[in-house]
Amino acid sequence: MINIKFTRILTISLICAALTACQTTGGGANLSVAERQLRQTETKRLAQGVVSGAAVGAVVTGLITAAAGGSPEAIIRNAAIGGAVGGIGGGLYAGNVNKNSRGYAQQQQAYKGIISQADANIASYRRMASAANQVRADEARKISRLNAQLRQGAITKAQYRSELSSARANIRLIERQINNAQADVASLNTAIQNGAPGGLVSRRNQLQAQKNLLVQRRDALKNVYRRAPDSVGVGI
């Protein structure tokens, strides 16, 4: 019963952290369809609990220790270690700890979970990059329109800024995903160094490629926002 209670508490904590993060994505009623999709993609990823490597590491480590017959104290201790080491690397730590005591099956199961996690992350970043590209295209058209209206005196600078009120939040959202992708790459590197199957190398490379693509998408969106006159004060 203790391990089940521990797992539930940890899962609830992860969900609460995800919901808290979702509140920081910025935006408002004037978000475009693409901007909403960008936020929904991040929200879905957060709700699934795949952003925080430390949280995932704690869950995986605690479960493996429990499956190997560890005491409640060992479960809590190893979960904390898994969280500190970070995500996938933490899960592997637990597998190595239990290798000599019914740990092989659990370790292999952990490897499968790591691979599944990596595939989910890759798909999530791919959707994020696609949504970011659509936001870039939409914002480019919007700024072209706003620039023309401002030159004609049809709108004020305040009105211009209002229409781009989500600009900074868009950039911050993509940058968070870049940081998350980098953390995922680091976790896979730790897993690989600890003897994980070769299939993780290709996943690590795909994650790195998605991270690089997100960087390109962020920079492209920044360049679009820089087309706004400095006098407007978009601040990108």
pLDDT score at 10: 47
Of the pLDDT bands very low, low, confident and very high (cuts 50, 70, 90), residue 203 is very high
Residue 167 has pLDDT above 60, yes or no: yes
DSSP secondary structure code for residue 189 in this structure: H
Of the pLDDT bands very low, low, confident and very high (cuts 50, 70, 90), residue 233 is confident
pLDDT score at 15: 46
Distant-in-sequence, close-in-space partners of 32: CB < 8 Å, separation ≥ 6:
135, 138
Identity of the amino acid at 140: A
Within the chain, residue ranges assigned H as helices are 2-22, 33-47, 53-67, 72-85, 87-97, 103-152, 157-163, 167-193, 199-225
Q: What percentage of the chain reaches a pLDDT higher than 90?
A: 43
Of the pLDDT bands very low, low, confident and very high (cuts 50, 70, 90), residue 163 is very high
pLDDT score at 92: 45
What are φ and ψ of residue 115, in 5° steps?
-65, -45
Count other Cβ atoms within 10 Å, centred on residue 8: 10
Burial of residue 71 (CB within 10 Å: 0-12, 13-18, 19+) is: exposed
pLDDT score at 43: 72
Place of tokens 């800024």: 161
> How far is the C-alpha of 54 from the C-alpha of 82, rounded, in Å?
7
Which of 218, 199, 56 has its CA nearest to residue 128?
Answer: 218
> How far is the C-alpha of 62 from the C-alpha of 97, rounded, in Å?
12
| pTM for the predicted model, two decimal places | 0.67
pLDDT score at 184: 93
pLDDT score at 115: 87
CA of 104: how far to CAs of 108, 190, 195, in Å? 6, 19, 13
